[in-house]
């Protein structure tokens, strides 16, 4: 073995120290949490969050976990069903805390006008006939205590936290198993709630990450092997990717931030984007070694680094700018995503300019891929450039698709249609009020109490108008509580009474909610001073179009029913949050894309002093993004929270190709087409690497992967088309003259 020189010993020592430092820095990774929080996509100063906070402070929290017991052959009024439901709840209530927190709206004891022998109290278990009438007549029980088919019964728990909901699930599953043992195949149990969806999404993105990351590493390994035919270079690229991912996630944990819907995409992104520099570095190193066989590996590695430092630094910087432009948005999730992706790329760049040249200098590399032995003319490297009509035709074909672009999203779109969460949510939308709701909070400016019959009548009118809007599945207000209770206290055979004529009577009815230990139910709709009230409207779906339509209906109904200045109206709730979220994300994406293009233009122009090529880079990028947006329009891919993120990535990564073509020193050793070849290889490797996202179990992430790959291919293509105009070359592919 050849003895190591002093310089090589130094490099080897530095590599060992780097390995130890990496292990040390990665230590916080053990504390990384996984959490999906829909609120992190909204500006913390947004009106909807302020309204939600106000609603929570005034009416109490109403986020809940709903357990649905679906009878496969019996209705909820069947005595066997009632007995089994009681058994099922009893099994869950074996847990002390769950016993205290469970709420049963259907079978809870009711007032009876006549005393019952042997039951010395006022509230008694309801009979089947009474339940039947209640489901038919009442607003509250009729809409939210049982399914429309009468075969499903709902009871609920308050949803304190994600972890709290997660801890209830196994207990419910066990109770369901016990029920199945008692009555095999007779029931199906479903868990429904916002937190259930978000928890399932958290589990799903983690499972996705565990599946996609190894595929990314494998794909990088295969592509690097095809390109460079060297196990050393393959290992180097994979090690660099893994170190980058581990360190980036460790920083995420160190910041106390969880792995969320957005940050979960970062490992795959930086794995692939981070190795883009290596394609150029390895390519240049191998070509120089062919041309200058007399030089040492250390000298060649240094020369490669010297030549590529500016373009590699510039492309990483513009990609970081692309991500960092999310800082201009007001959505915490996007800001963190941008920052962390930037940090990841920064780490990757540091490894590229330290570890990679060090390994190239230290470890013998015997590979001699054929392409490195040839010179490349422009058209030999990118033969499809002969056609001038193609780019024009492509633009004319795709750009009209921009007018077909739609905005839309929904949390359930993050699961495949056959996912149990989606099945349960869709089932619940058909059976009951749906998972998403609007809260309309009305506060009187004149301090008159909402318990006045005249004001209740106005509320009732508004409620009816909004409830008639398509997509509104249910509505509940204090009017329902008053009328329901009037019916409960009266004759069960009679219809539901109208709003009482006197305020005294209304107050008396409301007071029974406190006496019956149901004050929580009353407070959900009327505050203590009775000057603020809330109306809840369930909606059939959480998509943008539905939420926007119902929002408009709410505003119109308020304007129509209350003179200006009489009440202040605020709209909140999960459905409203969804609509605001999508709107804000799309606006934010626009802001960040515009900003990153501007900053990239300034940085590149100022740093290079060459404004012409800089403008060409930006133009190529904008052209590419417009082509992809047009394609998305034609393909019917809606722009939502995740899908619209491809724009920022398209700027950050797409600009790289233009930069290499504009500022990469055309190596005389490789011929005029060598840089174009490397860019094409870059598009292939990065595009194929990011195509891994298309394998995601999350359809939205899969669509995002498709759009990113499309934008990379488009960016590479438009950059090559634009910069190829400035270069001339002959079609040659000759053996390289060795110097």
Partner 1 sequence: MAVLFVLALLLIFWQAWRTEPLPAAGYSSVTDPGGQVLPVAVPSWRALPQIPEGREERRSHLEGHAIGSATSQDPRLCRLFLRISTDHWLARSVSAQRWRELTPGQPGRPGPGGPPIWSFGPDGLLDDDDRDGDFLDPGELTSEGLGAEVEFFCPAPTGTRVDS
From the list 356-364, 410-418, 507-515, 688-696, the region that binds partner 1 by CB under 8 A is 507-515
Regarding 508 and contact with partner 1 (CB under 8 A), the answer is yes
- Of residues 101 and 213, the one with the C-beta less far from partner 1: 101
Question: To 5 degrees, how large is the angle CA 663–CA 669–CA 670?
Answer: 70
Cα separation, 316 vs 290, in Å, equals 28
40 scored as a contact of partner 1 (CB under 8 A): yes
- Of the ranges 120-128, 276-284, 372-380, 494-502, which one interacts with partner 1 (CB under 8 A)? 120-128
The token pair at 253 is 């944990």
Q: How far apart are CA 450 and CA 448, in angstroms?
A: 7
* Contact between residue 699 and residue 414 where contact means Cβ atoms under 8 Å apart: yes
Determine the distance from the C-alpha atom of residue 734 to the mean position of all C-alpha atoms in its chain, rounded to a whole number: 50
56 binds partner 1 (CB under 8 A): yes
Stretch 162-191 residues interacting with partner 1 (CB under 8 A)? 162
CB of 97 to partner 1, least distance (A): 10
Q: Which of 279, 41, 30, 64 is nearest to 159 (CA)?
A: 64
Pick one of 103, 232, 246, 619: the residue that binds partner 1 (CB under 8 A).
103
Classify 532 as helix, strand or coil: strand
Q: Which of 192, 336, 629, 714 binds partner 1 (CB under 8 A)?
A: 336
Distance of closest approach, residue 646 Cβ to partner 1, in angstroms: 21
Q: Could you say which of 512, 587, 591, 732 contacts partner 1 (CB under 8 A)?
A: 512
Hey, which bits of 398-447 come out as E strands?
Answer: 436-444
Closer of 112 and 151 to partner 1 (Cβ): 112
* Contacting residue, 342, 357, 401, 689, with partner 1 by CB under 8 A: 342
Residues 527-546 that bind partner 1 (CB under 8 A): 527-528
CB 408 within 8 A of CB 545: yes
| Nearest C-alpha neighbor of 618 from the set 714, 719, 712 | 719
> And the tokens for 668?
């005389």
Q: How far apart are CA 587 and CA 285, in angstroms?
A: 44
**Phi, psi at residue 76, to the nearest 5°?**
-70, -15
Question: Which residue of 32, 39, 189, 680 would you call a contact of partner 1, by CB under 8 A?
Answer: 39
Comparing CB distances to partner 1, the nearer of 105 and 660 is 105
Residue 173 Cβ, how far from partner 1 at the closest point, in Å?
18
Residue 37 within binding range of partner 1, rule CB under 8 A: yes
Work out whether 79 is an interface residue with partner 1 (CB under 8 A).
Answer: no
Compare residues 120 and 737 and give the one whose CB is closer to partner 1. Answer: 120
Q: From 109-117, 360-368, 410-418, 533-541, give the range in contact with partner 1 by CB under 8 A.
A: 109-117
Looking at the Cβ atoms of 236 and 259, the one nearer to partner 1 is 259
Q: 421-430 contacts: CB < 8 A, separation 24 or more?
A: 421/196, 421/197, 421/200, 424/68, 424/190, 424/191, 424/192, 424/196, 425/192, 425/197, 427/68, 427/190, 428/66, 428/68, 428/190, 428/192, 429/473, 429/540, 429/541, 430/148
Q: Which 8-state DSSP code applies to residue 695?
A: G
Cβ atoms of residues 338 and 266 within 8 Å: no
Q: Which of 26, 36, 59, 297 binds partner 1 (CB under 8 A)?
A: 59
Q: Which of 47, 78, 95, 104 binds partner 1 (CB under 8 A)?
A: 104
- 515 belongs to the binding site for partner 1 (CB under 8 A): yes
> What are the phi and psi torsion angles at 273 (to 5°)?
-65, -35
Instruction: Write out the binding residues for partner 1, residues 431-490 only, by CB under 8 A.
Output: 489
Residue from the set 160, 206, 215, 634 that interacts with partner 1 by CB under 8 A: 160
Which of 290-298, 467-475, 508-516, 558-566 is the region at the interface with partner 1 (rule: CB under 8 A)?
508-516
Q: Is the dihedral of CA 383, 385, 389, 392 positive or negative?
A: positive
Number of alpha helices (DSSP H) and beta strands (DSSP E) in the chain = 26, 10
Q: Label residue 489 exposed, middle or buried (CB < 10 Å: 0-12, 13-18, 19+).
A: middle
CB of 588 vs partner 1, minimal distance in Å: 16
d(CA 378, CA 357): 28
Q: How many residues belong to the site for partner 1 (CB under 8 A)?
A: 85
Q: Using the minimum distance from each CB to partner 1, give the nearer residue, 158 or 408.
A: 158
Binding status of residue 58 toward partner 1 by CB under 8 A: yes
Question: Mind giving me the DSSP string for 325-379?
Answer: GGGGSS-HHHHHHHHHHHHHHHHHHHHHHHHHHHHHHHS------GGGGB---HH
**Whose Cβ is closer to partner 1: residue 422's or residue 441's?**
441
Nearest distance from C-beta of residue 164 to partner 1, angstroms: 9
Residue 449: which residues within 8 A CB-CB, separation 6 or more? 455, 503, 529, 530, 531
Question: Does 313 interact with partner 1 (rule: CB under 8 A)?
Answer: yes
Among 499, 603, 626, 680, binds partner 1 (CB under 8 A): 603
Q: Please report how close the Cβ of residue 64 comes to partner 1 at its closest, in angstroms.
A: 11
What is the footprint of partner 1 within residues 677-706 (CB under 8 A)? none
Query: Between 36 and 212, whose beta carbon lies closer to partner 1?
Result: 36
CA 721 – CA 392 distance, rounded (Å): 11
Nearer to partner 1, 251 or 466 (CB): 251
- Which of 1, 3, 45, 114 binds partner 1 (CB under 8 A)? It is 114
- Residues within window 237-276 making contact with partner 1, judged by CB under 8 A: 251, 255-258
Backbone angles phi, psi at 192, to 5 degrees: -135, 140
Q: How far is the CB of 393 from partner 1 (least distance, A)?
A: 38
Using rule CB under 8 A, residue 96 touches partner 1: no
Residue 4 or 94: which CB sits closer to partner 1?
94
Question: Does residue 123 belong to the site contacting partner 1 (CB under 8 A)?
Answer: yes
- Of 82-90, 399-407, 474-482, 550-558, the segment contacting partner 1 by CB under 8 A is 82-90
With contact defined as beta carbons under 8 Å apart, do 502 and 453 qualify? yes
Please pick, from the candidates 203, 520, 587, 732, the single residue that binds partner 1 as defined by CB under 8 A: 520
Question: In the set 320, 683, 709, 722, which binds partner 1 (CB under 8 A)?
Answer: 320
Confirm if 619 and 722 have CB atoms less than 8 A apart: yes
Q: How far is the CB of 60 from partner 1 (least distance, A)?
A: 4
Q: Which one of residues 15, 18, 25, 122 is an interface residue with partner 1 (CB under 8 A)?
A: 122
Q: How far is CA 694 from the centre of its chain?
A: 15
Contacting partner 1 (CB under 8 A), which of 6, 120, 470, 564? 120
In whole angstroms, the minimum distance from the beta carbon of 185 to partner 1 comes to: 23
Is position 107 an interface residue for partner 1 (rule: CB under 8 A)?
yes
Task: Indicate the residue among 349 and 544 with the shorter CB distance to partner 1.
Answer: 349
Quote the tokens at residue 368. Answer: 């001699």
**Relative orientation angle of helices 276-291 and 266-274, to the nearest 10 degrees:** 20
């Amino acid at each position: 073995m050849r003895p190591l020189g002093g310089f090589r010993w130094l490099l080897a020592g530095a590599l060992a120290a780097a390995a130890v430092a990496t292990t040390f820095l990665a230590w916080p990774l053990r504390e990384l949490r996984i959490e999906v929080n829909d609120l992190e996509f909204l500006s913390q100063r947004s009106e909807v969050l302020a309204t939600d906070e106000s609603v929570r402070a005034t009416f109490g929290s109403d986020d809940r976990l709903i357990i649905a017991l679906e009878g496969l052959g019996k209705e909820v009024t069947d005595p066997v069903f009632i007995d089994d439901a009681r058994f099922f709840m009893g099994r869950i209530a074996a847990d002390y805390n769950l016993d205290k927190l469970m709420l049963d709206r259907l079978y809870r004891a009711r007032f009876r006008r006549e005393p019952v022998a042997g039951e010395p109290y006022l509230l008694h278990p309801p009979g089947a006939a009474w339940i039947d009438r209640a489901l038919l007549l009442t607003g509250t029980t009729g809409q939210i205590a049982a399914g429309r088919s009468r075969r499903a019964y709902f009871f609920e728990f308050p949803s304190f936290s994600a972890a709290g909901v997660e801890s209830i699930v196994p207990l419910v599953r066990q109770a369901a198993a016990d029920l199945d043992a008692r009555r095999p195949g007779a029931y199906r149990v479903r868990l429904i709630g916002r937190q259930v969806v978000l928890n399932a999404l958290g589990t799903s993105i983690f499972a996705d990450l565990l599946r996609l990351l190894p595929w990314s590493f494998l794909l990088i390994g295969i592509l690097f092997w095809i390109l460079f035919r060297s196990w050393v270079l393959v290992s180097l690229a994979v090690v660099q990717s893994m170190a980058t991912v581990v360190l980036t996630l460790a920083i995420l944990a160190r910041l106390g931030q969880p792995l969320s819907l957005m940050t979960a995409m970062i490992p795959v992104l930086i794995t692939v984007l981070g190795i883009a520099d290596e394609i150029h570095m390895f390519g240049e190193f191998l070509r120089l070694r062919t041309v200058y066989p007399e030089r040492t590996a250390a000298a060649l590695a240094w020369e490669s680094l010297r030549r590529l430092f500016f373009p590699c630094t510039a492309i990483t910087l513009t990609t970081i700018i692309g991500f960092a432009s999310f800082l201009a948005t007001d959505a915490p999730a996007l800001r963190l995503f941008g920052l962390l992706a930037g940090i990841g790329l920064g780490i990757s760049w540091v490894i590229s300019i330290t570890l990679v040249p060090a390994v190239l200098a230290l470890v013998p590399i015997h590979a001699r891929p054929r392409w490195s032995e040839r010179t490349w003319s422009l058209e030999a490297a990118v033969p499809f450039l002969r056609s001038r009509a193609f780019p024009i035709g492509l633009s004319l074909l795709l750009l009209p698709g921009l007018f077909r672009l739609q905005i839309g999203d929904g949390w359930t779109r993050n699961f495949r249609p056959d996912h149990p969460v989606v099945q349960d949510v869709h089932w619940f939308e058909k059976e009951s009020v749906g998972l998403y709701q609007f809260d309309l909070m009305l506060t009187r400016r004149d301090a008159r109490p909402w318990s006045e019959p005249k004001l209740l009548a106005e509320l009732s009118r508004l409620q009816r108008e909004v409830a008639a809007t398509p997509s509104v599945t249910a509505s509940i207000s204090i009017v329902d509580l008053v009328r329901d209770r009037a019916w409960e206290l009266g004759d069960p055979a009679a219809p539901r009474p109208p709003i009482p004529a006197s305020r005294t009577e209304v107050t008396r009815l409301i007071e029974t909610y406190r006496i019956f230990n149901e004050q929580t139910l009353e407070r959900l709709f009327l505050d203590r001073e009775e000057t603020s009230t809330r109306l809840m409207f369930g909606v059939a779906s959480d998509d943008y179009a539905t939420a926007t339509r119902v929002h408009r209906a709410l505003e119109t109904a308020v304007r129509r029913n209350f003179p200006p200045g009489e009440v202040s109206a605020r709209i909140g709730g999960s459905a409203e949050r969804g609509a605001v979220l999508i709107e804000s994300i799309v606006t934010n994406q626009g802001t960040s894309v515009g900003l990153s293009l501007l900053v990239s233009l300034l940085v590149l122009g100022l740093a290079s002093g060459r404004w012409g090529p800089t403008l060409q880079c930006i133009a190529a990028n904008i052209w590419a993004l417009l082509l992809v947006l047009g394609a998305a329009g034609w393909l019917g891919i809606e722009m939502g929270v995740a899908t619209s993120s491809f724009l920022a990535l398209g700027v950050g990564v797409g600009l790289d190709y233009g930069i290499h073509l504009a500022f990469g020193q055309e190596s005389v050793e490789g011929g005029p087409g060598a840089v174009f070849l490397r860019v094409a290889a870059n598009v292939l490797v990065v595009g194929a690497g990011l195509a891994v996202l298309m394998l995601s179990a999350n359809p939205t992430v899969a669509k995002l992967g498709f759009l990113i790959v499309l934008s990379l291919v488009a960016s590479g293509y438009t950059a090559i088309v634009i910069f190829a105009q400035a270069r001339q070359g002959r079609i040659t592919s000759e053996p390289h003259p060795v110097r």
